[in-house]
A and B are shown apart, each in its own frame.
Chain A
């Protein structure tokens, strides 16, 4: 695992969170396998990974909803490992709609304050202020079944924030929403998180969401943290083959490694640390690093083109039988119809290589 240093708090109101050597078994399944992680005050960490990688288990352990078998959870320097969920003061937004159906939006948001003994007038005022924060001040008297999925998740966010939690935990809160609402809401969550300055752990399997929202993104696999880094570093300088292949699209191209570089499609490309070699390797090359030049007589042929709005993706059949995907500008798509002969080269940006 590699990591970058936690970034400083956005406005200094958050608390630090530390996971130390956390293990969790469910029967034979090792859901958390020595997970260690530091989250700086006010930082938003996105945990990304495939289903069953342990990201939700880590979040639930921090929220006190699941036990850990080994390891320690420190929040603001205090050991919360064995503190029950209702004593941790964590705000959680769940993947499933979790508003209490028998309560209005206002009562849902005020519920945590009621448990803290806040008087009725203050409770109502604070609930309405928090609903205003998420843009639902006018919907305070509505019941959950009278609201859309996006509105329900906004109220759930307001409910989590109203108790002024130490840490905000977001367990795939956008996954049940349609694409447009999802994009809007993720930007809104990020805006509010920066405004409030709360330390946040965000769990998702959607890499676009993770890269767009996280100060840092942690990629998990089989209960372990493969890499945690800023989104750009994670994308450009993956530390392991799993990260290189899981985050973004990659082409697996044959090459020969030696002396810190790999020869791919006739270009010497620098190798990232941890890569295989020397000798024959498979280089993991991003589609945007593949360049296509129409050239009469070239051996490679365009086989398919996808227009994606602001850009295009072109599938090219190489002479050795391999298929490579290149990302091109949308304006170039019309110049590369299927059947076009193209010369394929690779931009000499660092790549990760695995043994062939």
Chain B
């Protein structure tokens, strides 16, 4: 035993020499992080430039004022933003898109949350099937969806009166389009809690399925539900292809048409839509219940 200790000590001796090399090693160590920092900064600048430059260009374009005949320079003006209200079609398009967004969120939550909770608790082997179905819209091009669904819309337009020809019927397609993103958001929340055990506990205490879902499960996946909702809103407000091909005047379609007549207003509305989406995403990352709970957990060490 002592022999092995001696050997270890003997083997450790060259390590003392290694100590002398430490400053050189440390010096190399310092140079590498500095290089990494510069590389990171470069990447950050490139990415920010890629993201911010178009936004800056939009701001610059949409706030251009009249050219001063004397100085020959253009001033700054918010006239394009004020003119938004001068285009009834545009206001109507914005309202329609917001209505579709709200309906889509409700429809998506009503479809997804009970289905996913039920799948996790009662038929976990179906989880993969549900996931596959929800992710399917990612793999289907919008044009294919339109070609497939156009006859249904034609039928609705001819037989269901005002409802059948309303732009709000886009809600049905949009619910399908947002499924992949909303599924992921809710699924990650469901995986973060022991859904099956919580449901069992609630039921053993006397809760039926509706109470189990809405009083026990939903409050604990609020973060996921909020994320799913924001993603759905962002997606609906940005959806153009299907609405245009089915000839419904949503905000994106109106912006596109307006772009041919008044590009300043068109860009101003696009900019506002982007800012609205950013504010929503910021709100979710800052104020989502999941984020608050994570903060609390980090701050409070559980009692042992």
The answer to whether B266 has its CB under 8 Å from any CB of chain A is: no
In the complex, chain B residues whose CB is within 8 Å of the CB of A94: 197, 200-201
The answer to whether B216 has its CB under 8 Å from any CB of chain A is: yes
State how many angstroms separate the Cβ of B221 from the closest Cβ of chain A.
Answer: 10
The answer to whether B14 has its CB under 8 Å from any CB of chain A is: no
CB interface residues, B 164-215, toward A, < 8 Å: 193-194, 197-198, 200-208, 211
Binds B, one of A98-106, A255-263, A275-283: A98-106
Binds A, one of B85-93, B252-260, B292-300: B292-300
The answer to whether A330 has its CB under 8 Å from any CB of chain B is: no
Check if B194 sits within 8 Å of A115, measured CB to CB: no
In the complex, chain B residues whose CB is within 8 Å of the CB of A146: 300, 302-303
A218-237 interface mask toward B, CB cutoff 8 Å, 1 = contact, 0 = none? Answer: 00000000000000000000
The answer to whether A112 has its CB under 8 Å from any CB of chain B is: yes
CB interface residues, A 63-88, toward B, < 8 Å: 63-65, 84-88
Q: Which residue on B lies nearest to A101, using beta carbons?
A: B220
Contact of B303 among A89, A97, A116, A147 (CB under 8 A): A147
In the complex, chain A residues whose CB is within 8 Å of the CB of B24: none
Contact of A145 among B202, B203, B211, B297 (CB under 8 A): B297
The answer to whether A158 has its CB under 8 Å from any CB of chain B is: no
State how many angstroms separate the Cβ of B303 from the closest Cβ of chain A.
Answer: 5
B204-246 interface mask toward A, CB cutoff 8 Å, 1 = contact, 0 = none? Answer: 1111100100001001100000000000000000000000000
Q: Which of B193, B200, B202, B207 has the most CB of A within 10 A?
A: B200
Check if B198 sits within 8 Å of A100, measured CB to CB: yes
In the complex, chain B residues whose CB is within 8 Å of the CB of A246: none
In the complex, chain A residues whose CB is within 8 Å of the CB of B200: 63, 65, 85, 92, 94, 98
The answer to whether B261 has its CB under 8 Å from any CB of chain A is: no
Check if B204 sits within 8 Å of A65, measured CB to CB: yes
In the complex, chain A residues whose CB is within 8 Å of the CB of B204: 63-65, 85-86, 88, 90-92, 160, 169
Check if A115 sits within 8 Å of B198, measured CB to CB: no
Check if B211 sits within 8 Å of A100, measured CB to CB: no
In the complex, chain B residues whose CB is within 8 Å of the CB of A87: 206
CB interface residues, A 142-175, toward B, < 8 Å: 145-148, 151, 156, 159-160, 163, 169
Given contacts A115-B211, A145-B297, A148-B304, contact A85 B197 (CB under 8 A): no
Given contacts A63-B204, A65-B204, A85-B204, contact A148 B302 (CB under 8 A): yes
Q: In the bound complex, what is the Cα–Cα distance between A145 and B219 (angstroms)?
A: 15
In the complex, chain B residues whose CB is within 8 Å of the CB of A86: 203-208
In the complex, chain A residues whose CB is within 8 Å of the CB of B300: 145-146
Check if A92 sits within 8 Å of B201, measured CB to CB: yes
In the complex, chain B residues whose CB is within 8 Å of the CB of A156: 201
Q: Which residue on A lies nearest to B297, using beta carbons?
A: A145
The answer to whether A96 has its CB under 8 Å from any CB of chain B is: yes
Across chains A and B, the number of contacting residue pairs, with CB separation under 8 Å, is: 79
Q: Which residue on A lies nearest to B300, using beta carbons?
A: A146
Check if B205 sits within 8 Å of A112, measured CB to CB: yes
Check if B197 sits within 8 Å of A89, measured CB to CB: no
In the complex, chain B residues whose CB is within 8 Å of the CB of A96: 194, 197
State how many angstroms separate the Cβ of A85 from the closest Cβ of chain B.
Answer: 4
Check if A112 sits within 8 Å of B220, measured CB to CB: no
State how many angstroms separate the Cβ of A227 from the closest Cβ of chain B.
Answer: 29
In the complex, chain B residues whose CB is within 8 Å of the CB of A112: 205-206
Q: In the bound complex, what is the Cα–Cα distance between A147 and B220 (angstroms)?
A: 17
Check if A147 sits within 8 Å of B302, measured CB to CB: yes
Q: Which of B203, B296, B304 has the most CB of A within 10 A?
A: B203
A89-127 interface mask toward B, CB cutoff 8 Å, 1 = contact, 0 = none? Answer: 111101011111110000000011001100000000000
Check if A145 sits within 8 Å of B206, measured CB to CB: no
Q: Which of B197, B205, B303 has the most CB of A within 10 A?
A: B205
Contact of A115 among B201, B205, B219 (CB under 8 A): B205
In the complex, chain A residues whose CB is within 8 Å of the CB of B304: 148
Check if B303 sits within 8 Å of A115, measured CB to CB: no
Contact of A163 among B197, B206, B219 (CB under 8 A): B206
State how many angstroms separate the Cβ of B171 from the closest Cβ of chain A.
Answer: 30
Check if A151 sits within 8 Å of B303, measured CB to CB: yes
Q: Which residue on B lies nearest to A92, using beta carbons?
A: B204
Q: Which residue on B lies nearest to A112, using beta carbons?
A: B205
B277-304 interface mask toward A, CB cutoff 8 Å, 1 = contact, 0 = none? Answer: 0000000000000000100110010111
Q: In the bound complex, what is the Cα–Cα distance between A87 and B297 (angstroms)?
A: 35
Check if B205 sits within 8 Å of A102, measured CB to CB: no
Q: Which residue on B lies nearest to A178, using beta carbons?
A: B304
Check if B297 sits within 8 Å of A111, measured CB to CB: no
Check if B198 sits within 8 Å of A85, measured CB to CB: no
Contact of A98 among B197, B302, B303 (CB under 8 A): B197
Given contacts A85-B204, A97-B194, contact A145 B220 (CB under 8 A): no
Contact of B205 among A97, A147, A148, A163 (CB under 8 A): A163
Q: In the bound complex, what is the Cα–Cα distance between A72 and B225 (angstroms)?
A: 41
Interface contacts beyond A98-B194, A115-B207, A151-B303: sample of 5 additional A-B pairs, CB < 8 Å, sorted by A: A89-B206, A97-B197, A100-B202, A102-B219, A146-B303
Q: 6 nearest interchain CB pairs? A: A112-B205, A115-B206, A98-B201, A85-B203, A92-B204, A102-B219
Residues of B within 8 A of A (CB): 193-194, 197-198, 200-208, 211, 216, 219-220, 293, 296-297, 300, 302-304
A–B complex contacts, Cβ < 8 Å, 13 sampled: A85-B203, A86-B205, A94-B200, A101-B193, A112-B206, A116-B206, A145-B297, A146-B302, A146-B303, A148-B304, A151-B303, A160-B204, A169-B204
